[in-house]
Amino acid sequence: MSEQRLAGRVALVFGGGQIPGQDTGNGRAAAQLYARSGARVVVVDRNIDGAQETATIIAGEGGQAVAVRADVSVESEVEAAVMACVQTYGRVDVLHNNVGINAGDGLLTDVQTAAFDQMMSVNLRGMYLACRYTLPLMCAQEKGVIINIASTAPIMSYPFAAYQMSKSGVLMLTKHVAINYAPFGVRANALLPGLINTPMAIEHQTNRPGASRESVLAARQALTPLKNATATAFDVAKAALFLASDDAQFITGAELVIDGGQSLRAG
């Protein structure tokens, strides 16, 4: 186990499972690092098998974790997941909102209403619900940390309208929580990942005709200014761990970009 920066704390990770692939997903990596740092972790995912696999990995590393099934687009399931965390471990110290999708998207006039509604429901409304049911607990504790996984999409030229708008909403949700719940000792920050090599980002591209894993990774690396940068979910998780720890006790309302300089490029 690594340095126990979260010893005695409880982390609730929404989106802690993942689809099959060679890489580790953002939610699983965060759950693993939280556990390695001493936190007891509740891994929530719509796919209970994926959540259980993450919990099993954590247990294999000597940590404590349980798996809970919940679809963030269903309010009663989000509430039940938060309550399951309290029933299991007695509190919620860190809320990590990782769930996000990008399906049926494109330029604004190409996006069907159903696809727009689905992305807003999962990417933004799901985080709102998780915050809504967790914040009263954190306020009662007079301490808590919320970490919302956004994207660099809101700060770049980006061709997928619904995803960009949903992640822009995540940034404003984070700011709202940060300023309005600061008097209760609650901090809220957002992470803005760029081209991170996760199963969700990589696997569907390698299935395209003529594509190989090597060519997909090379193309993504070519877009990253930072020399020889190959980003993994653990790069995002390390930032999340910092923000969740007391090392960041005076940081709230921040937007931390993790993209190797990609968003700094113009043109």
What burial letters (b/e) apply to 252-261, b meaning 16+ CB within 10 Å? Answer: bbebbbbbbe
Q: How far apart are CA 134 and CA 132, in angstroms?
A: 6
Residue 97: both structure tokens together: 């909102």
Task: State mean pLDDT over 55-64.
Answer: 98
Residue 217: both structure tokens together: 């990774």
The answer on pLDDT for 40 being more than 60 is: yes
State the pLDDT at residue 36: 97
Task: State mean pLDDT over 100-118.
Answer: 94
Which positions are annotated as active-site residues?
Answer: 163
Confidence bin at 210 (pLDDT 50/70/90): confident
Q: How far apart are CA 243 and CA 191, in angstroms?
A: 10
Q: Is the dihedral of CA 193, 26, 132, 136 positive or negative?
A: negative
Task: State mean pLDDT over 155-165.
Answer: 95
* C-alpha closest to that of 166 among 105, 254, 81: 105
- Phi, psi (5° rounding) for residue 46? -65, -30
Q: Are 206 and 218 in contact (CB under 8 A)?
A: no
State the pLDDT at residue 130: 98
Tens digit of each residue's pLDDT (9 = 90 or more) over 5-29: 999 999 999 999 998 888 899 999 9
State the pLDDT at residue 1: 44
Task: State mean pLDDT over 62-85.
Answer: 98
- What percentage of the chain has pLDDT greater than the value 70? 99
Mean pLDDT across the chain: 94
pTM (2 decimals)? 0.95
Tens digit of each residue's pLDDT (9 = 90 or more) over 178-187: 999 999 999 9
Task: State mean pLDDT over 163-167.
Answer: 97
Please provide the size of the chain in residues: 267
State the pLDDT at residue 266: 64
The answer on pLDDT for 207 being more than 80 is: no
Domain ranges of the chain: 10-255
Query: SS3 sequence, the chain?
Result: CCCCCCCCCEEEEECCCCCCCCCCCHHHHHHHHHHHCCCEEEEEECCHHHHHHHHHHHHHCCCEEEEEECCCCCHHHHHHHHHHHHHHHCCCCEEEECCCCCCCCCCHHHCCHHHHHHHHHHHHHHHHHHHHHHHHHHHHHCCEEEEEECCCHHHCCCCCHHHHHHHHHHHHHHHHHHHHCHHHCEEEEEEEECCCECHHHHHHHHCCCCCCHHHHHHHHHHCCCCCCCCCEHHHHHHHHHHHHCHHHCCCCCCEEEECCCHHHCCC
State the pLDDT at residue 208: 77
Tens digit of each residue's pLDDT (9 = 90 or more) over 235-263: 999 999 999 999 999 999 999 999 999 99
Q: How far apart are CA 180 and CA 149, in angstroms?
A: 20
Q: How far is CA 72 from CA 43, 103, 113, 125, 155, in A?
A: 13, 16, 19, 8, 25
Amino acid at 185: G
With vertex at residue 155, the alpha carbon angle to CA 27 and CA 105, rounded to the nearest 5 degrees, is: 65
Tell me which fold the domain 10-255 belongs to: Rossmann fold (3.40.50)
